[in-house]
Amino acid sequence: MRYGLGVMLVLIAGLLWSLQGLIFRQILEAGSWAVLFWRSVGMMPVLLVFLAYRAGGSPWPAVRRTGMSGVIGALGLVAAFGGAIVAIQSTTIANAVFLFAVSPFLTALLGWIVLRERVGRETWVAMAIAKVGVFVMVRGGLANGALLGNVAALISALGFAVFTVSLRHGGVRDTLSTVFVGAVFASVAGLCAGYMQGQVMVGAAADIGWAMMMGAVTLSGGMVLYTLGSRVVPAAQLALLSNLEVLLAPFWVWLFLGETATVNTLLGGAILLAAVSVNAVSGVRGERARA
C-alpha cells in the first residue's frame, strides 16, 4: 500500500466516524443501553468477516490469541463505547466529540504511569493547554445541566486510553480482534444493564436499524479502514488526521439538524483541538528527525 492511499483510508475512516453523531440524533426512543447493545451487535459480523478475510480462513484463532492484555483493552472499549453513547444523548455533539479528543493525552499519562514511556516536553505543554480547554467546556456544562454528558465523554476518552495502553503493554498487534472482543463484552454489558434498569431492549425497528447500521458501517467500517491505513501512516500523523472527525461531527448536526453549541463549548473545543494539533505536529517532527 502506498502512503497516499493510506492517508486517504484514514481520512475516510474519520469521515465515517464523524457521521455517528448525526445518526445518533435519528434514534428517538431507544435508551443508552439498548443503543449500546444493538450497535455492538452490528459491529461483530463486519469485524468477523474482515478477520476471516485477513486470515484466509477462520477468524477464531485470531480472536483466541487476544490474551489478557487484549481482554483488558476490550473492557476499556466497553467504557469507551458506553460513555460515548451516554455523552451524545446527554449533551451536544460538539461538546461530546471535543471531550473525546482528550484521549491522546490520557493515553500519554497512562503510558507514563504504567509503561514508563517518556512524555516529551511538547506533550506536557499540550496537556496543560488541553486542561484549560476542558475546564472551559466543563464549566459551561455545569451551567447548562450537561454534567452527566461531560463526565460520560471523559470516561469514554479514558476507556480508549486504557484500550491503547493495554495493547502496548501486552504487545498485542491484532487490534481488530480486541475490538471484536470489546463488542461482545459491550453487547453483554448493554443487555444486562438495560434489563436491570428496565429499558426496552427490543423497541422501535427504526431505532434498532440506525444503531446496527452505526455499528456495522460507521464504527466497524471506519476501524477497518483506519487499521489498513495505519500500516503505512506514522502514528503521530494518524493523530493529526483523526482531527477530521472532531471537526466534522458538529458540522453535520448543524448542517442537517440545526444543532448549535454554546460559546463555552466552541471556545473550550478550539483550545483543546489546538492542543491536540500541536502535540500531533510535534510528533510528526520527531518522527522525521528520527528518520
List, for residues 171-210, the tens digit of each pLDDT value.
Answer: 777 889 999 999 999 999 999 999 999 988 988 999 999 9
Task: Choose among 192, 257, 290: nearest CA to 24.
Answer: 257
Indicate if the pLDDT at residue 289 is higher than 70: no
Task: Give me the phi and psi of 247, to 5 degrees please.
Answer: -75, -40
Radius of gyration of the chain (CA): 18
Cell numbers placing 273:
483541538
Distance separating alpha carbons of residues 167 and 36, to the nearest angstrom: 23
- Other C-beta atoms closer than 10 Å to the C-beta of 153 total 30
Residues counted in the chain: 291
What is the per-residue pLDDT for 100?
92
pLDDT band for 121, please (50, 70, 90 cuts). confident
Q: Tell me the residue type at 109.
A: L
pLDDT band for 288, please (50, 70, 90 cuts). low
Give residue 53's domain range. 3-290
Q: Tell me the residue type at 194.
A: G
pLDDT band for 221, please (50, 70, 90 cuts). very high
Task: Choose among 223, 232, 240, 225: nearest CA to 275.
Answer: 240
Tally of domains within the chain: 1
Mean pLDDT of the chain: 89
Distance separating alpha carbons of residues 100 and 44, to the nearest angstrom: 23
Distance separating alpha carbons of residues 86 and 75, to the nearest angstrom: 17
pLDDT band for 141, please (50, 70, 90 cuts). low
Task: Choose among 27, 33, 7, 23: nearest CA to 201.
Answer: 33
Indicate if the pLDDT at residue 236 is higher than 70: no
**Percent of the chain whose predicted confidence (pLDDT) is above 70:** 95
Whose cell is 464504527? That residue is: 219
